[in-house]
Amino acid sequence: MKVKAFYLVTFEDVNAKYLAGPTAEGENLASTYTGTNPERYTGYHDSSSDLFFNTDATAFYSGGIAISQWNDLTKEDYTNQCSVFFGDNNQKNGGNNKSKTFAVSYVSSYNDAPTMNFQTANAEHIIDHAYFTNSTYAALTMTNGNNYAKKLSYDAKDWFKLVVEGFSAAGKSTGTVEFFLADFRTQNAGGIVNQWKRVDLSSLGKVHKLSFTMDGSDKGEYGVNTPTYFCVDDIAVMQ
């Protein structure tokens, strides 16, 4: 049997200037940031895979993908928006397999979906799989509820999911893959995801771009009430 060959985007070699900081709020993700350590974040290009991880030019609150090492597991508001809900609290081991580094994404209901795309024009490759899990902000909100979002429950058959859509270089959709970050639809469902989970993306075929949207059972006038964040790591790009 032929063994698949792929390059794994682990984010472990990312220069510190590209990391969200200087706190778990990720102040350097805003256009108003004037600090130099870390620098203002405007997106990250992984040269080995050629994947570019986009963040809105205005600020992270407009949507995007950032690179992070934060894993504060206790603070449950937007000032902790760059933390993953995994690892040992504040020990910088929140990535898949307790690595240091991962990507965190915010999906805004008012702006374009966050994307990762091959920077070379017209390049198309199979992204075989990636690992996904919850951010702390989303996980604790789903666990406890807050002034804007409810606590998710089996009684209400609640759910919260990520939708990954592939696009060709010509801009045509190649399909979608759904992953439930919380599932209370049946009594045997797993509830809130608190581990990194491998998600097969190979059914999307050769893609130039992946875009990310989110949906959930707790909705209001402005869309999903649950904080629409997710984390991703160890992205396998077929060579």
CATH code, domain with 213: 2.60.120.1350
- Read off the pLDDT of residues 82-94 as tens digits, 9 standing for 90 and up: 999 999 999 999 9
Roughly how many angstroms between the first and final C-alpha of the chain, as a whole number? 17
Number of domains in the chain: 1
Q: Is residue 209 part of a domain?
A: yes
pTM of the entire predicted model:
0.96
CA distances from 186 to 36, 79, 85, 199 (A): 49, 33, 23, 21
Evaluate whether residue 25 is within a structural domain.
Answer: yes
pLDDT per position as a tens digit, 40-80? 998 999 999 999 998 876 788 889 999 999 999 999 999 99
Tell whether 174 is covered by a domain: yes
pLDDT at position 2, please? 57
Does residue 1 fall inside a structural domain?
no
- pLDDT value at 30 more than 60: yes
Nearest to 139 by CA among 196, 101, 99: 196
pLDDT in tens, 117-175: 999 999 999 999 999 999 999 999 999 999 999 999 999 999 999 999 999 999 999 99
Residue-range definition of the domain harbouring residue 203: 6-238
